[in-house]
Structure 1
Amino acid sequence: MQQLTNPRELRGLAILSQPNTIIQMSKNEWDVRSQSKDAYYRVTRKFVSQSKTDHYAWSCSCPDFTTRNMPCKHIHAVQFSLKLAGDVQEHSAPAAIEEAEPKIVCPECKSKNVRKWGIRKTQYGTIQRYACHNCNHTFVVDKGFCRMKNSPETITLTLDLYFKGLSDRKIVDHLKQFHNVIVVHTTIIRWIKKYLKLLSKYSEKYKADVGNIWHSDETTVFIKKENEKRYYQWIWNVMDAKTRYLLACQVSETRYVKDAQKALKQAKSVTNVRPDAIVTDGLMAYKDAVKNEFYDVSAFIQNPHIRLKDFETKPNNNILERLNGTFRERTKVVRSFDSGIGAEEFATGMQTYYNYIRPHQGIGGMTPAQMANIPINLLGNRWETMIGLSVK
């Protein structure tokens, strides 16, 4: 079983997992940032042609290579980056950006032969009406908010405030105080359940163009259960290090191999690549789970599992620990899940919010979906745009 056990390979992988650490200066020269000081080392390769085999001779200006004349962590980092770049180019397929405005189609006969047919006045403004040339049916375009008593702005504001950590009763107070909108907290719950179900189906439509280094970890969530004072379930998260795209978010009652494998299987189904490294903590369930899902005898790295020995050594699981903190910001307000928003609905909603709605500072203020080349143009009110696309 081929696995990353060489310390220099692991350190090279840690260099690659950090942003702006490798700068290509020419076709065969790279500057690699030092991990211990503010400096760069020059890595070069030279093509060597021999009678039997052709290969590259690598060198680095760092003290480790100069002293030992063997591949250092900086050379391994460049080699990994070249392989990952080749994999991304091989597996990436261009896709057209989906338009935010849906095509106008008659809901009765599905004909595109329609025309504008006046407007309809509502308490939130005017809505364009259409008429079908084929069946004479008149209609308005459903953007996800038809027959709702409140405006799309109010509903999407509710969704955004909920996932930013406000309780449903605090949202009720906010709407009343600042927008003069009076609703009850059970209405907030109904909106969240309705639109989370709609968005979760739509978010499964595209494959994510992610990198080859993934991280996996689990966190707890408190569930109300009859006759039990403390009852917890586990939320399993799998994230791509390059794009911060949350590949899987699964809920389970236990932490066995089958539970870890379920999350890894979901992550595998939404991507176009096989990871070269899956970084996990010391939980033993990951050992067999990663092997069962990703072991490949023909791959460059047959078993991609990297089990962390501690929290200080790189590569570490800090990006997932930060994600777990984002989850706890929401769950400490909810305190527990019962018949309102269930744990599985919450996990699905957080995955959609994290990937498509919430900008991430670690990737330059973009959303993970944008970094993963998901062809959805979410501008302005991202909730409203995505709901409209989901209805279409």
Structure 2
Amino acid sequence: MKQITNPRELRGLKILSEPDTIIPMGKNEWDVRSQSKDAYYHVIREYKDRHAQQRGQATWTCTCPDFLSRNVVCKHQHAVMLSLKISGEIVKDYEATQTEGVESNIICPTCKSGNVIKYGVRKTKFGENQRYTCNDCGYSFVVDQGFHRMKNSPKTITLTLDLYFKGVSLRKIADHLIQFEDVAVTQVTILRWIRKYLAQLGKYAEKYQVEAGNIWHCDETTVFVKKEGEKKHYLWIWNLMDAKTRYLLACQVSETRYVKDARKPLAKAKEVTAVNPDAIVTDGLPAYKQAVKDEFYGLGRIQNPHVRLKDFETKPNNNILERLNGTFRERTKVVRSFDSAIGAEAFAAGMQTYYNYIRPHQGIGGMVPAQLANIPLDLTGNRWMTMIGLATAGK
């Protein structure tokens, strides 16, 4: 509990510290012993209606002279409130006077009001969820963190996602769950979870601009998709990374490698950072030359920042992008092929989230790139759960 400074509240705490001073007389009635004479005062808690009770907005009365003459919260009422708080009962009108009860980031799903306060917890077999109530319409609700109506725990589902992006096959994930989590799920269920949350993460619009460095690296890799009439049809994934933060600024999918395709990751990178690079390092693909010129000519501190590599040994080289492509291949060699271009795009978006927000990077001291890019998100603990919650809320 917080430090108490209110004089009446301090006297109420003194009453509470003495034995047999508060006697329950009913659900919302108590007798509180007087400190000055051998007598008891009667404290009553009343609710105007059901909605007021849900919001915890009670009317308190007492038969003591202090309350009757001044109509203020007396020490006897404070003693009862403190007793209820210590015993675990949630007294909303008391808490509202002591703390900031309004949750400014939570919106009521019924009336869309932001006038929302915490209203206890809902116990589930996976733990406790914070409940809220709306002061405007009286509706009580639990915020959907992305796992609403899921039969398995968020821990199990996010563990599945993490193993998937680390290159573990569906069969091995199912075996891991039954061995270490005592959870029996089929490979079809695991695939359904992956598709669901890949779609959510694919729709997640990044809210914050990236504090990127001035040297970017761009390269492309292939991913195979199933296409009727073709044995091996592949698409191109274009990755563009900031060398300083290792943040993956863009991850775009295309069917070809023309200039218009090479411009897509460059244009996307311009959206997420306000910095114009001094240099963009690429391999020898001819399309990059015109694409970089179209996107950045005259915008940066130099006329044309394109650095086209002659080979893999001469510095500057594109090794950090080659390592990133290796991370992609850790996953794609197990998948072998995707169902469609949409599936490949969802995979690319999921990999971008995994690389920027989930996967620690040794090149930046074990942090995730989003931390070095000064993105103001709490990326401690279960980072998958954090990102799914943001994607669900659309924040």
Q: TM-score, normalised by structure 2?
A: 0.70
Which residue of structure 1 lines up, in the alignment, with residue 77 of structure 2? none
How far the C-alpha of 1:190 sits from its partner, in A, is 2.2
Residue in 1 that maps onto 2:227: 225
Amino acid at match of 1:364: G
Match of 2:330 in 1: 329
Shift >6 Å, 4+ stretches: none
1:304 alignment counterpart: 305
Letter of the structure 2 residue corresponding to residue 201 of structure 1: K
SS in 2 for 1:208: coil
Deviations 1:58-96 (A, max 9, x none): xxxxxxxxxxxxxxxxxxxxxxxxxxxxxxxxxxxxxxx
Q: How many residues align?
A: 291
User: How far apart in 1 are the matches of 2:135 and 2:204?
Assistant: 30
Q: Deviations over 1:316-364 (max 9, x none)?
A: 0010011111111111111111169811111111111001110100001
Moved more, 178-187 or 146-155: 178-187
State which structure, 1 or 2, has the greater radius of gyration over its C-alpha atoms. Answer: 2
Q: 2:207 corresponds to which residue?
A: 205
Amino acid at match of 2:383: R
Q: 1:194 to 1:102 in 2, by over 3 A?
A: farther
Instruction: Give the C-alpha shift of residue 184 in structure 1.
Output: 2.0
Q: Which residue in 1 is equivalent to 2:348?
A: 347
Alignment of 1:1-392 (within 5 A): 103-296=105-298, 299-338=300-339, 342-392=343-393
Distance in 1 (CA, whole Å) between partners of 2:366 and 2:372 is 10
Give, in angstroms, the shift of residue 205 of structure 1.
1.8
Tell me which amino acid in the other structure corresponds to 2:107: V
Cα distance change on mapping 1:102 and 1:197 into 2, 3 Å = farther
Q: Residues of 1 paired with 2:342 and 2:257: CA distance?
A: 23
The two structures, once aligned, show a CA RMSD in angstroms of 2.0
Q: Which has the higher contact order (CA 8 A, sep 6+)?
A: 1
Q: Secondary structure at the match of 1:235?
A: strand
What is the TM-score when the length of structure 1 is the normalising length?
0.70
Q: Deviations over 1:109-163 (max 9, x none)?
A: 2334444445433222333433333222121222221111111101111111110
What is the rounded CA distance, in whole Å, between the counterparts of 1:176 and 1:120 in structure 2?
28
Contact 2:239 2:252 in 1 (8 A): yes
Query: Which one-letter code corresponds to 2:189 in the other structure?
Result: T
Q: Is the 8 A contact 2:217 2:321 kept in 1?
A: yes
Q: Give SS of 1:289's match.
A: helix
Instruction: Tell me how far 1:299 sits from its aligned partner.
Output: 4.4
Shift, 1:258, TM fit? 1.0
Aligned to 1:38: none
- What is the one-letter code of the residue matched to 2:367? M
- Preserved CA contact (<8 Å) 1:216 1:280: yes
Q: Which runs of 5+ in 2 are unaligned?
A: 1-102
The verdict on how the C-alpha distance between 1:130 and 1:267 changes in structure 2, with shifts beyond 3 A counting, is closer
Q: Secondary structure at the match of 1:229?
A: strand
- Secondary structure of the 1:342 match is helix
Contact 1:193/1:341 (8 A) holds in 2: no
Distance (whole Å) between structure 1 residues aligned to residue 212 and residue 305 of structure 2: 16
Once the two structures are TM-superposed, the CA of residue 102 in structure 1 deviates from its matched residue by 8.3
Q: Show structure 1 runs of 5+ residues with no match.
A: 1-100
Residue pair 1:189, 1:341 contacting (<8 A) in 2 also? no
1:255-274 deviations in Å (ceiling 9; x for gaps) = 11111111211112111111
2:33 is aligned to none
Local SS of the residue matching 2:323 = helix
Question: What's the offset of the Cα at 1:231?
Answer: 1.5
Q: Check 1:128–1:166 CA distance in 2 against 1; reply closer, same or farther (3 A cut).
A: same
| 1-structure distance, mates of 2:340, 2:237 | 18
Deviations 1:241-297 (A, max 9, x none): 11111111111111111111112111121111111100111111111111111110x
CA drift of 1:314 comes to 0.5
